[in-house]
Amino acid sequence: MRETLRYVASRLATTFLIVLGAMILLFALSALVPGDPATALLGPAATPEYVQRFIQEMGLDQPWYRRLFSFMGNVFVGNLGTDVLSGQPVTRIIANVLPYTFILTFSSIGLAVAFGVPLGCYAATHRGSLLDHLLAFVSVAFIAIPSFVIAIFLLLIFAIWLDWLPVMGAGEAGNWFDQAQRLILPTIALSVGWIGFIARLVRSSMLETMGENFIRLSRAYGLSNRLITYKYALKNACIPTLAVLGMGVGRLLGGAVLVEIVFSRPGLGRLMFDAISTRNFPVLQGTVLVVVLIFVLTNLLVDLSYAAIDPRIRRQGSR
């Protein structure tokens, strides 16, 4: 128990440091943006008086360390600044779209795990079977195709050509059925590559585990194949799979950005895209920070689940 607590504490501390580092980096970038940020933001048409007022309001005339301090202080109380265009707090703008991105990423990860893990287990236990070969071939294809390309194809086939599913946007607020329908294609677009990826990963780690002595021991005691595969071997195979999943969350978020744009769904991706095209720096900064936060927290989660799975990690305190 003490070991576990120490492990969690040390991981929390590193996570905090990473977030701090990301904030400083982000701040430095904003300071390094060439040109005068006020003109860059407001555009050449703004009057000099307006630019002056803006600089004061945003605190751009303060020395850099003051700005860094107030930036970090604000972030810690959840204040990511104000959107220059709409005058709304950036935090609220992000909070409004965050659920959409969350639902999309989690349903994609969920779908990928729900299909990838059993497929990988099956392929490992039925090596050389038709499904095993098919998986090897199809997964390579799907891993290679970027998710936004799949998104476009899905859109063309199922929404336009067959007209089976409504797309574009997240659906009517409060209408669960409509929202769920509109979630189907983006989720599939994001997860097909991952299904193949996870299946292959589970397959290879499973095969490796199946050769271990302790699995032989379970066989020597006549334990059922199901118990050996899904209890003993799968847990071992989860460890490398989790590691890759943790790293993959970044890629998944990146994919979500493009898929959101293809399906014109609200979300972090769209927000970021719009912020870039309108050079809306506070919104962009806030969104990037939130993405970093999501990424770091997922990795924390992955590390903690490692420790939950593998007792040896708990003892070491760190990997």
User: Among the candidate windows 6-14, 70-78, 268-276, 306-314, which touches another protein by CB under 8 A?
Assistant: 306-314
Q: Which stretch binds another protein (CB under 8 A): 5-13, 68-76, 209-217, 262-270?
A: 209-217
Closest distance of CB 121 from another protein, Å: 16
Would you list the DSSP string of 162-175?
S--S--SSS--TT-
The Cα–Cα gap between 280 and 140 comes to 39
Q: Which of 34, 97, 31 is nearest to 58 (CA)?
A: 31
Rule CB under 8 A: say whether 191 interacts with another protein: no
| Footprint (CB under 8 A) of another protein, residues 53-82 | none
Site residues (CB under 8 A) for another protein, limited to 210-249: 212-224, 227, 231-232, 235-236
The angle at the Cα of 206, spanning 191 to 128, to the nearest 5 degrees, equals 85
Q: How far is CA 189 from CA 111, 159, 250, 253, in A?
A: 11, 13, 16, 13
Rounded to the nearest 10°, the torsion over CA 98, 192, 112, 256 is -10
Distance of closest approach, residue 5 Cβ to another protein, in angstroms: 18
Nearer to another protein, 78 or 226 (CB): 226
Residue entry with tokens 């990997």: 319
Q: Cβ 213 to another protein, closest distance in Å?
A: 4
Choices 56-64, 105-113, 280-288, 310-318 (CB under 8 A): range interacting with another protein: 310-318
For the bound state, the minimum distance from the C-beta of residue 241 to another protein, rounded and expressed in Å, comes to 14
312 binds another protein (CB under 8 A): yes
Establish how many alpha carbons lie within 13 A of residue 190's alpha carbon, considering only the half-sphere containing its beta carbon: 32
Structure tokens at 22: 């990301």
Location of structure tokens 């991706």: 269
For residue 253, what is the enclosing H or E element? Answer: helix 234-262
Q: Considering CB under 8 A, how many residues would be counted as binding another protein?
A: 23
Selected range binding another protein among 18-26, 109-117, 269-277, 308-316, rule: CB under 8 A: 308-316
Rounded CA-CA distance 210/13 in Å is: 37
304 binds another protein (CB under 8 A): no
The distance of closest approach from Cβ of residue 12 to another protein in the complex, given in angstroms and rounded to an integer, is: 24
Which of 159, 184, 310, 317 touches another protein (CB under 8 A)? 310
Residue number with CB closer to another protein (50 or 214): 214
Q: Which of 131, 315, 318, 319 binds another protein (CB under 8 A)?
A: 315
Q: Count the alpha carbons within 13 Å of 2 in the hemisphere toward its beta carbon.
A: 0
Closest distance to another protein from the beta carbon of 214 (Å):
4
Residues in the chain: 319
- Which three-class secondary structure state does DSSP give residue 218? helix
Report, in Å, the least distance between residue 242 CB and another protein.
13
Residues lying near another protein in the complex (CB under 8 A): 212-224, 227, 231-232, 235-236, 309-312, 315
